[in-house]
Amino acid sequence: MIQDKAIPTDIVARIRTQAAECGFVACGIARADAAPRTAARLREWLDEGRHGSMIWMEERAEQRGSPAGLWSEVRSVIALGMSYAPAADPLALAGVGDRGRISVYAQGGDYHDVVKKALKRLGRWLAQESGCDLKVFVDTAPVMEKPLAEAAGLGWQGKHTNLVSRDHGSWLFLGAIYTTLDLAPDRAGRDTCGSCDACQRACPTDAFPAPYRLDARRCISYLTIEHAGPIPHDLREGIGNRIYGCDDCLAVCPWNKFAATAAANRAFAARAELAAPRLVDLIALDDAAFREVFRGSPIKRIGRNRMVRNALIAAGNSGDAALVAPVRAACGDADPVVAEAAAWALAKLGDVPG
C-alpha cells in the first residue's frame, strides 16, 4: 500500500495514549519477526499431541507460527493488554461442595466482544492518523498473542505458559494489531520467574510436564471448555468443583500482588449469578435456560451439554447428599456424555442407579 499522508514522528507515543483511552492498560511494539522461535515451539507441541482435540491449532499452524505467515505485509505488531484483575479471591470457592467455580475471566462480559471493540476503535484511529493498512486480532484468529506480547515488552511467558506482567500479574486479556508501519520496537520482556514453581505445584491435574510446558490434555481449562467428550476418569477428582476453566496456576503467581483491581475493565466485573452458581441449578438446565443464563458470556459457546457434564462431575466430587436426586434425574439425559457423567457422579455419591 502507498500511504497517502506523512506519518507523525511521535506516532508511537500517540498510539500509547490512544490505547489507554480505549481501555488498554498495557501497550508495546514488536517487529513482525521478533519472536522467531514461536513456529518451532508450536510445531514441537503439536507433534507431541499436547493440543488434544484442538485440531484448529494444527490446521493453521503455519499462519499461527509467525505474523508474516498470516499476513505477508505486516511490519510491526502492536501488542495490547486489558486488565481483568479480580476483586475477589479466585480460590475462595475451593471445597465449597454445592457451588461451581467459574474462571475469573468468564464471570463477566465476553472478552472477545470487549477487546475486539477496543481494538477496532484504536485501529480506526491509527489508520486515519497514518494511512497504514492494519488488521486486529483477539484470541479467535491464528495469532500467538503471548510470545508477541513478550516480544513487545508487556511481560514474559511464565512457567504456567501464560503472560506475566510486572504491573498486572497474570490478569491480562491480550489483543494484537498487525500494521504495515515500521514502528520503533520496545525492549522484550525479561523472565523473572526465578526459582518459583508455585504455578506448577498448584495444578490439580499435573498438566505441566516441565516448567514452561503445558499438556492441554490434562489441563482443567481444556477439559471443561474445549474437550467435547467424556472427561477421562483419572482426571475427574482433580477437577473438584471447577465447571468452566481453572485459575489455580494464575492465582498463586506472586506477581499478582502488583495487580490493581482498579485497573480492571468494569465490563469484566463478575455477574452475581456467575460468581458462585449452585450446582443443583446448573444440572437442571435445559438448552433454553442455558442460553438465557449465559447470554453475553464466553461460556455460552460451550453449549448446554458440556456445562451440565461439568456440573455433574463437580457434583460427584462434592460429597453433598443433597445433590443425589438431581444427579439421578440427569442419568436419563438424552446426551450420552451427560448421562455417563451423571452415572459416575451418582456412584461417587454412593447411590449407584438400578
Q: Which three cell numbers stand for residue 52?
A: 488434544
Helix (H, G, I), strand (E, B) or coil at 286: coil
Q: Are 132 and 126 in contact (CB under 8 A)?
A: yes
Phi, psi angle pair for 65, to nearest 5°? -65, -25
Task: Say which residue the cell 481444556 belongs to.
Answer: 222
pLDDT of residue 7: 72
pLDDT of residue 5: 58
Nearest in space to 224 (alpha carbons), one of 292, 282, 287? 282
For residue 210, the cross-strand partners are 213
Identify whether 89 is a catalytic site residue: no
Nearest in space to 247 (alpha carbons), one of 275, 278, 279? 275
Nearest in space to 218 (alpha carbons), one of 234, 202, 229, 230? 234
Nearest in space to 65 (alpha carbons), one of 36, 39, 30, 31? 39
**Rounded CA gap, 69 and 143, in Å?**
10
pLDDT of residue 206: 97
DSSP state of 222: I
Q: Are 112 and 139 in contact (CB under 8 A)?
A: yes
Q: Which three cell numbers stand for residue 125?
A: 484511529
**Rounded CA gap, 344 and 350, in Å?**
10
Nearest in space to 280 (alpha carbons), one of 237, 246, 334, 321? 321
Nearest in space to 244 (alpha carbons), one of 116, 90, 82? 90
pLDDT of residue 162: 97
What DSSP line would sit under 142-163, residue for residue?
S--HHHHHHHTTS-EE-TTSSE
Q: Determine which one of 139, 191, 281, 335 is catalytic.
A: 139
pLDDT of residue 61: 87
| Residue 78: its H or E element | strand 76-83
Taking the CB of residue 166, how many other CB atoms lie within 10 A of it? Answer: 14
Would you give per-residue pLDDT tens digits along the chain (354 residues)?
A: 445 456 777 999 999 999 999 999 999 999 999 998 999 999 999 999 999 999 888 888 888 999 999 999 999 999 999 999 999 999 999 989 999 999 999 999 999 999 999 999 999 999 999 999 999 999 888 999 999 999 999 999 999 999 999 999 999 999 999 999 999 999 999 999 999 999 999 999 999 999 999 999 999 999 999 999 999 999 999 999 999 999 999 999 999 999 988 889 999 999 999 999 999 999 999 999 999 999 999 999 999 999 999 999 999 999 999 999 999 999 999 999 999 999 999 999 996 554
